[in-house]
Amino acid sequence: MPSKKKISPIDLISTELKSKASRSRSSILQRFFKTAPGQYGAGDVFLGLTVPLQRQIAKQYADLDRPALQSLLNSKFHEFRLVALLIMVFQYEGAKEREDKKSIVDFYLRNTNRINNWDLVDLSVYKILGDFLCLTGETGRLDRLAASRNLWERRMAMVATYAFIKAGRSAETFWIAKKLLKDKEDLIHKAVGWMLRETGKRVSEAELKRFLDRHYRAMPRTALRYAIERLEPRTRERYLAR
């Protein structure tokens, strides 16, 4: 009897993701992530899976090799790319040697063109790139990403600093936030405000206020509103009234 053809992990993942697809949820996600022509997520295609379900599938295939990850990242389906990134997070967190972590970071950076929506960035960048840069001190990479013409690479630069914030450091966040204050994209304004808010919450509210005192006049309204969200009401009103 001829031997049965072995099913590849990619086929298994593909079958599992597509079997869990939801047409109604897909329609909602297509609108939520702005996939219409001319919008920031134009052309992205959603199957309609929840993030917890994708994380569960990613855990099952956490040992997936690099070519298979590349295949997932190359997919037109948003969920395929997110599962690949979640697997990379698991692999990075499980790596013991610095060189193994660096290999994952380098692979991540070679695929920034496939990390092309804000959830893909936010669920992966600080856990992989941010953590590695915090570990090694190679913060010049943040500079280069912040100067990119690619919206998602600029968001990566900002959100990657969350790893520094979690380590009790604020300088990197203030540095990248200052570089992006005049960015024209609303998604960057939100990321800047979010990271500033987290700095005030987790590192130092006094440092946040000093940064705001110097730069609030140059900040887009959205960034300012996000940044001051956790300050006491009178202080928030003072910044907004100015």
Domains in the chain, CATH or no CATH each: 7-112 (1.25.10.90), 124-242 (1.25.10.90)
CB 126, CB 142: distance < 8 Å:
no
CA-to-CA distance for 87 and 55, rounded, in angstroms?
A: 8
Say what the pLDDT of residue 6 is. Answer: 80
Say what the pLDDT of residue 119 is. Answer: 98
Q: Which amino acid is at 165?
A: I
Say what the pLDDT of residue 109 is. Answer: 98
Which residues 6+ apart lie within 8 Å of 26 measured at CB?
A: 46, 47, 48
Say what the pLDDT of residue 7 is. Answer: 87
Which residues 6+ apart lie within 8 Å of 209 measured at CB?
A: 200, 231, 235
- Those residues of the chain that have pLDDT short of 70 are 1-4
Q: What is the 3-state secondary structure (H, E, C) of 75-95?
A: CCEHHHHHHHHHHHHHHHHHC
Helix/strand/coil for 115: coil
Helix/strand/coil for 192: helix
Quick one: which H or E segment has residue 18?
Answer: helix 9-19
Rg from Cα positions in the chain: 20
Which residues on neighbouring strands pair with residue 77, listed in sequence order? 45
Say what the pLDDT of residue 157 is. Answer: 98
CB 48, CB 26: distance < 8 Å:
yes
Per-residue tokens: 206: 């006094």
Provide the 8-state DSSP code for 161: T
Per-residue tokens: 105: 């970071």
